[in-house]
């Protein structure tokens, strides 16, 4: 079956022998699409990260179908069986507990195997906590890095934290509520307290919460609180001064002209530092 065949027969979804990646709501169940409901109701079976979570969606929309467990503990055993089912023409939907399957879950491995077997994969798009938090943060979103959950081993964890501290792009992380305070402490150590951050909690739910202008304020907010709910963090990239690209001769000329115009060395340095996005001391020391 080719992709062109799928496109021309999209109205007949679900197609035979197709794996559907179905996005489910990240909190508010009303965010599910009619197309997703159709797929979940009519595929041969639905592979779920946790069948109990998926049943909440199925019950909400009066959907009845065959649910099977597919998670990190059993995925290696289940993948060959699912591939076999697809090869004989069955249609399968894969869902995570919330959001897009294949992100920080074993759906990624299933898709890789299915694609290698020449089986078609179709994504039914929808909510994603990482993108929802990013566009809500007000931070640069044209270029960003998604790290998911940080590794548990300290050596691997510290390597990524060090990369985050130096990266100029916005970084998105997932974290469990009981490890959030530890992560904020690590970010304080590696990035400093003034780095801009958003801690998004319970996205799309009734008590959705956006916390923190910077790492210091986020730490203070959660200091004496029991953290609950799903957590997504958005960390602004480091603004680096490319000193080698600064034309010091031009800066010194501008500084001299401002001083001749009556500004003090301190005031002129402060003005040029703000204008060029660099430290005041760099300008001040040119005199």
154/43 Cα distance (integer angstroms): 43
| Residues 6 or more apart in contact with residue 131 via CB below 8 angstroms | none
pTM tops 0.85, yes or no? no
Contact 200, 99 (CB under 8 A): no
β-pairing, 92-95 with 45-48?
A: parallel
Please give the pLDDT value at position 246.
Answer: 55
- How far is Cα of residue 26 from the mean position of the Cα atoms in its chain? 12
129/205 Cα distance (integer angstroms): 12
Mean pLDDT of the chain: 91
Dihedral sign computed on CA atoms, order 148, 153, 158, 163: negative
Tokens 């020449």 appear where?
A: 118
Instruction: Name the H helices within 224-278.
Output: 248-260, 265-276
Contact 49, 97 (CB under 8 A): yes
pLDDT tens digits, 29-67: 999 999 999 999 999 999 999 999 999 999 999 999 999
Please give the pLDDT value at position 9.
Answer: 45
Is pLDDT at 19 greater than 60 in this prediction? yes
| DSSP secondary structure code for residue 42 in this structure | H
Q: How many Cβ atoms from other residues are within 10 Å of residue 246's Cβ?
A: 14
Q: What is the SS3 assignment for 233?
A: strand
Query: Which helix (H) or strand (E) element contains residue 67?
Result: strand 67-69
Contact 97, 9 (CB under 8 A): no
pLDDT tens digits, 104-116: 889 999 999 999 9
Greater confidence, 27 or 247? 27
Query: 135 exposed, middle or buried (CB, 10 Å; 0-12, 13-18, 19+)?
Result: exposed
Q: Which domains does the chain have, with CATH numbers?
A: 3-127 (3.40.1010.10), 130-235 (3.30.950.10), 243-284 (no CATH)
Token pair recorded at residue 30: 């009303």
């Amino acid at each position: 079956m080719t992709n062109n065949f799928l496109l021309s027969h999209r109205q007949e979804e679900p197609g035979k022998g197709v794996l559907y990646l179905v996005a489910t709501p990240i909190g508010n169940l009303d965010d599910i699409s009619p197309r997703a409901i159709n797929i979940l109701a009519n595929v041969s079976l639905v592979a779920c990260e946790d069948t109990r979570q998926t049943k909440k969606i199925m019950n909400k929309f009066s959907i009845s179908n065959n649910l099977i467990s597919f998670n990190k503990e059993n995925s290696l055993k289940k993948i060959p069986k699912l591939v076999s089912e697809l090869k004989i023409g069955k249609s399968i939907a894969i869902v995570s507990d919330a959001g897009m399957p294949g992100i920080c879950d074993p759906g990624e491995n299933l898709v890789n195997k299915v694609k290698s077997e020449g089986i078609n994969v179709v994504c039914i798009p929808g909510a994603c906590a990482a993108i929802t938090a990013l566009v809500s943060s007000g931070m640069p979103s044209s270029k960003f890095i998604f790290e998911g959950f940080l590794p548990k081993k300290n050596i691997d964890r510290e390597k990524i934290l060090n990369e985050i501290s130096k990266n100029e792009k916005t970084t998105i992380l997932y974290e469990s509520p009981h490890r959030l305070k530890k992560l904020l402490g690590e970010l304080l150590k590696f990035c400093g307290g003034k780095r801009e951050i958003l801690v998004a909690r319970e996205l799309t739910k009734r008590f959705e919460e956006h916390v923190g202008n910077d790492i210091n304020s986020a730490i203070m907010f959660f200091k004496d609180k029991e953290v609950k709910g799903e957590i997504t963090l958005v960390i602004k990239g480091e603004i680096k001064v490319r000193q080698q690209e600064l034309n010091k001769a031009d800066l010194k000329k501008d500084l001299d002209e401002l001083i001749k115009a009556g500004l003090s060395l301190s005031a002129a340095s402060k003005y040029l530092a703000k204008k060029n996005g660099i430290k005041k001391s760099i300008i001040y020391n040119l005199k």
